[in-house]
Amino acid sequence: MADQDPVFQIQRVYLKEASLEQPNSPAILLEQEQPAVDIQLGVEATPVAEGIFEVCVTATVQTKIKDRTVFLVEAKQAGIFEIRNLPQDQLGQIMGIACPQIVYPYLRGNVADLIQRGGFPPVHLQEINFQAMYEQQQVEAAGAPSGTLPQ
């Protein structure tokens, strides 16, 4: 039956949020010390309608010299996906692995561009193994000790 075939389609990929803060400019820009860079990533999936989901990948990039912020970039890249007729366990994997892999390259480009437009050398986010990230989240959600997978 054709209407029971699995469906996975990208409807749209878009930049949902982006901000750049330089709270200690211009004085901090005269510092010669190399800043420390902290990068945090997150993934979230939200149902929008029947069979339609929004998957967001969020990046927070903060650079500091000592305890003073040089710049802080927060960006959220999102995608709308049509996902139908998949078993529940596969649905979680698609939204936790496949969708972020599609959205993430756009996020990487937007973060690097925003930082460069702020007058800094671009920070290129590393490639991410979303499968490993998803599996780690599943282990943590199951309350299992780290290093073991749920049965």
98 located within any domain: yes
20 located within any domain: yes
Buried b (16+ CB within 10 A) or exposed e, 10-35: eeebeeeebebebeeeeebeeeeeeb
Structure tokens at 3: 């209407």
pLDDT of residue 140: 86
Q: In Å, how far are 40, 56, 61, 81 from 20, measured between CA atoms? A: 15, 19, 10, 28
What's the CATH number where 99 sits?
Answer: 3.10.420.10
- Tens of pLDDT, residues 53-70: 999 999 999 999 999 999
150 located within any domain: no
Q: In sequence order, which ranges of the chain are alpha helices (DSSP H)?
A: 88-93, 99-117, 130-142
pLDDT of residue 145: 59
49 located within any domain: yes
Angle between helices 99-117 and 130-142 (to 10 degrees): 110
75 located within any domain: yes
**Cis bond before residue 26 (omega within 30° of 0):** yes
109 located within any domain: yes
Q: The pTM is what?
A: 0.85
State the total domains in the chain.
Answer: 1
* Structural domain for 98, as ranges: 2-142
149 located within any domain: no
Q: In Å, how far are 49, 96, 99, 104 from 11, measured between CA atoms? A: 13, 17, 11, 16
17 located within any domain: yes
